[in-house]
Amino acid sequence: MSDKKFCLDLTREDLLLFCDSQGIAKYRADQIFSWLSRGVVRTDDMKNVPKDIRGLLEEEFIFEGFDVIHKFVSEIDGTTKFVYRLWDNNVIETVVMPYKTGLSVCISSQAGCKMGCRFCASADAGFGRSLSAGELFGQIVVTSRNLGEKISSVVVMGIGEPFDNFDNLMAFIDLATSPEGLNLGARHITVSTCGLVPMIHEFADRKLYVNLAISLHAPTDELRSSIMPINRRYNIEELIPACRRYTEITGRRITFEYSLFAGINDDEENAKALVKLLRGMLCHVNLIAANEFPGSDFRRSPKANVEKFKDYLNSHGINATLRREMGTDIMAACGQLRRSVEGRSC
């Protein structure tokens, strides 16, 4: 691990200090910062910065990474997946989805994931490391630059468990919402967790008013523990009160992600248990017709079961919609991303 800072983790103050220590005029710090905030991570592309200063920058900081090793574009819906190689050779995936309201980007929070959810391709590929705040931010600005288009919303639902990288996630949200960063409204950011309960409480106490999504996928401890190891550490009895507290403190509706797997969690018994669990909470259930990936034993629920499950929830007072599938032909959908070149997640 390098002790040098990655360029997109540099603040304006870091650059002012650098200029000061090298006898460089202060306005250069603003020039460099402006390039970085536009997703430029190669000093060669910083056209108004003299060569000797670029050389000094490279000696001091890391100006590498975010090489596009693959770019896939879905023929079905225009979803685009970028596979990026980071400066230390870790590989991550970033997915851009076109909606009527603008482009939404799904970013990874870690290279790999430790959580081990059985239905998830990201868990399959092991764990590399957590991403820095600049690497989270970089997935937005670099991707926006690669596409030549503005990003309107961000979901932290790619590879990794964001609350397992809490401090960097907080620094990222700060950067994404600040005028010096992306100036994004908190309502345009969604963070998804598999249920790290202490972090849900901490997140609520920070009062950031960011959307929170919970990867639930099962309404009982027995079933959830069998497919999501995190449930053995923080069970449903702890998770649900933490979610209720989040909605009470922030006034924000919480989303529960529920992937439907054939013969596992898609029958009326599970729908009933889910209604009982969520009754009275300010929430919404996002049903996902589960995505398959090579080597997985989990099969997607038949369409008729999905519709029946959705109707049961809606007719029993739980607001539920079926998530529009995006990028299934390029392995860019939920649960299909990997920390590898082939091909995420919550």
Which residues have a catalytic role annotated? 93, 334
Please identify, among the stretches 83-91, 111-119, 261-269, 279-287, the one whose residues bind ligand SF4 according to the rule CB under 6 A.
111-119
Q: Which of 43, 90, 94, 122 binds ligand SF4 (CB under 6 A)?
A: 122
Q: 194 vs 240, which CB is nearer to ligand SF4?
A: 194
Q: 275 vs 346, which CB is nearer to ligand SF4?
A: 346
C-alpha distances in Å from residue 136, one per residue of 44, 70, 123, 158, 324: 23, 18, 19, 11, 25
Binding mask 184-213 for ligand SF4 (x = CB under 6 A): ----------x-------------------
CA separation for the pair 61, 8 (Å, rounded)? 10
Residue in the structure block whose two tokens are 């200029």: 19
Q: Which of 24, 46, 117, 204 binds ligand SF4 (CB under 6 A)?
A: 117
Site for ligand SF4 in 214-253 (CB under 6 A): 215
Task: Tell the smallest beta-carbon distance from residue 100 to ligand SF4 (Å).
Answer: 27
C-alpha distances in Å from residue 150, one per residue of 9, 153, 156: 21, 10, 17
Please identify, among the stretches 112-120, 129-137, 170-178, 205-213, the one whose residues bind ligand SF4 according to the rule CB under 6 A.
112-120
Task: Tell the smallest beta-carbon distance from residue 342 to ligand SF4 (Å).
Answer: 16
144 binds ligand SF4 (CB under 6 A): no
CA separation for the pair 242, 200 (Å, rounded)? 6
301 binds ligand SF4 (CB under 6 A): no
Q: 41 vs 242, which CB is nearer to ligand SF4?
A: 242
Task: Tell the smallest beta-carbon distance from residue 264 to ligand SF4 (Å).
Answer: 15
Please identify, among the stretches 18-26, 114-122, 167-175, 182-190, the one whose residues bind ligand SF4 according to the rule CB under 6 A.
114-122
161 binds ligand SF4 (CB under 6 A): yes
Residue in the structure block whose two tokens are 């490391």: 129
Q: Which of 46, 113, 260, 264 binds ligand SF4 (CB under 6 A)?
A: 113
In the complex, the residues that contact ligand SF4 under the rule CB under 6 A are: 113, 115-117, 120, 122-123, 159-161, 194, 215, 345-346
